[in-house]
Chains A and B, each alone.
Chain A
Amino acid sequence: MNVELTELTRRFGHTQAVAGVTLEAGPGVFGLLGPNGAGKTSLLRMMATVLPPTAGRLRLLGRDPGGFGPRREIRRRLGYLPQNLGYYPGFTVADFVEYFALLKDMPPRRVPRAVAAAIEHVGLGDRARAKLRTLSGGMLRRAGIAQAIVNEPELLLLDEPTAGLDPEQRVAFRALLREFGQRSTVIVSTHLVEDVGVACTEVALMDAGRLVFHGTPGELVTRGEGSGAAGDAPLERGYSAVLAAARSGAAARS
């Protein structure tokens, strides 16, 4: 398993952002769904080793990120697209991707070709020499995806990757997800249910920091059948049904 989380918890003061999540994920595309504030981003940041868990156990690519050596090894094999991608306005797309390829400790001789491949992969070949400050939001997102995939990561973590992409780009992006999912573990946090239905082999649904569903997109669809839950598509109805059940259960418990 590339990702093993056991009772993973993260608190910010009195707020519990992630509450005892247990999860395993191997190669494939894993969709992380949930409403705003469900804890998706905190969970992803813990998996990206940028946020320490408050409690619980985390193993990534068979290693414990608690030690310096294993953490560095994980980071070499990791691709991460944060929700808020900061960027250097004066860098070109190629400079930006190359900079992070070097910080990922890629062998320098491999870097130029890997950068070119990543930029072409996200369809930014014609803007490779453009400064980041001149790009649209969707193009910036694609530059962020390019830096995430430049090292051919074994674990690819993407937080709201399709935000700002137009429909054509989203279709291309889903193809990219499927391609990477064949050899890596790809975890995509999103609130766009249709992205999950098309690209993901597994899906987890979070609410109030807890994991309230884990299964295939087909199983999520089944949850919505005959439930009378709101939604225009079968997956949306499954999403709504699971959330409603989780919240009524939580209300009953309290």
Chain B
Amino acid sequence: MTGNELAGGYPDAGPGPADVDLDRVWLGVAAQVWRRRPGPVERVTGRLLRSPGLGRALVTTPSLLFGWLIATVVILLAGIGATVSTGEPWVALLAPAVAAAGIAYAYGPGIDQAWELSQSMAVSDRMVLLVRALAVFGLNAALGMAASAASGAAAAVTFGWLVPMTAVCALALAAATVTRSPTVGVVAGAAGWVIALLAGQAAEGQVTAAVTDSVFVVPYLAFAACCGAVVWLATRIPRGTP
């Protein structure tokens, strides 16, 4: 309805402005009212990644949402408490499993309800997954290192779990991607980490061997690379014409 048509219904209102298209005006108003204003994180990441779509994808990642981050911090605080009271490096033992759970819930094919739709988008689903996984990994690594340092662990323990964490996260991502189930990803990551800890204990006689013994670094990295290859294959871009 135009402004004139509207005014025509109300004789006392006088003539309306001649060229006002109320539909157009309403669209302008609705656009401003309905739009989701990007926060600082979304603006900065969108600019850094040169894609507002990736910025939005990042801030809507389940394992980067406020509730999830609070839960992560609470677990790591509990780890600090346990480390201080028992002397065992609980933070180093917990952090890789927590990070793996976050990675499995990074909205890859396992959990994204709109995965098929996402696959038809110009910003590729693979790029979205990569950005989300890296962000979750980076944040968990930073939180874990802060917690590990706060617990007063030795430097070898404080940083030693970063490499195994990479392998455990890669395993969780690969399992979640292949099975399309984040729960399977979490279980696989946690199980993989427990096996690594037990293997370290069997080999060296102490549970912290999995994070302190440099002998394991190469196998961890090789394993992470294999899991990365699995994710790459599982999310490979469809061929248009064979």
Say how far B205's CB is from chain A's closest CB, in angstroms. 48
CB contacts (< 8 Å) of A115 on chain B: these are 31, 34-35
Complex partner residue of A87 from B52, B56, B113, B239, CB under 8 angstroms: B113
Partner of A103, one of B27, B115, B118: B118
Chain A, 16-57, CB within 8 A of any chain B CB: 45, 48-57
A235 to chain B, nearest CB (A): 30
Given A50-B119, A105-B51, A116-B34: A99 touches B56 (CB 8 Å cut-off): yes
Q: Which residues does chain B contribute within 8 Å of A102, judged by CB atoms?
A: 52-53, 55-56, 123
With A54-B242, A98-B36, A112-B35 as known contacts, state yes or no: A49 contacts B113, CB within 8 Å: no
Q: Tell me the nearest residue of chain B to A66, going by C-beta.
A: B240
Query: Given A88-B60, A99-B60, A120-B27 in contact, is the A71-B240 Cβ separation under 8 Å?
Result: yes
- Interface positions of A from 62 to 87, Cβ below 8 Å from B: 64-68, 70-73, 75-76, 78, 80, 82, 84-87
Query: Is A206 part of the contact surface with B, judged by Cβ < 8 Å?
Result: no
Is the beta-carbon distance between B114 and A48 smaller than 8 angstroms? no
Shortest Cβ distance from residue B199 to the other chain A in the assembled complex, whole angstroms: 38
A52 and B122 form a contact (CB under 8 A): no
- Partner of A120 from B30, B57, B122, B241 at Cβ < 8 Å: B30
Interface hits, B198-242 → A, CB 8 Å: 237-242
Decide yes or no whether A95 CB sits under 8 A from chain B.
yes
Contact status B241-A66, CB under 8 Å: yes
> A247 interface residue, CB < 8 Å from B?
no
| From B28, B52, B112, B239, contact of A66 by CB (8 A) | B239
In the bound complex, what is the Cα–Cα distance between A45 and B116 (angstroms)? 9
Are B240 and A94 interface neighbours, CB within 8 A?
Answer: no
CB pair A88 B240 closer than 8 Å: no
B contact residues around A105 at 8 Å (CB): 51, 53, 122-123
- Measured CB to CB, the residues of B under 8 A from A are 26-28, 30-32, 34-36, 51-53, 55-57, 60, 112-124, 128, 237-242
Interface residues of A (CB under 8 A from B): 45, 48-58, 64-68, 70-73, 75-76, 78, 80, 82, 84-89, 91-92, 94-95, 98-100, 102-105, 108, 111-113, 115-117, 119-120, 125, 128-129, 147
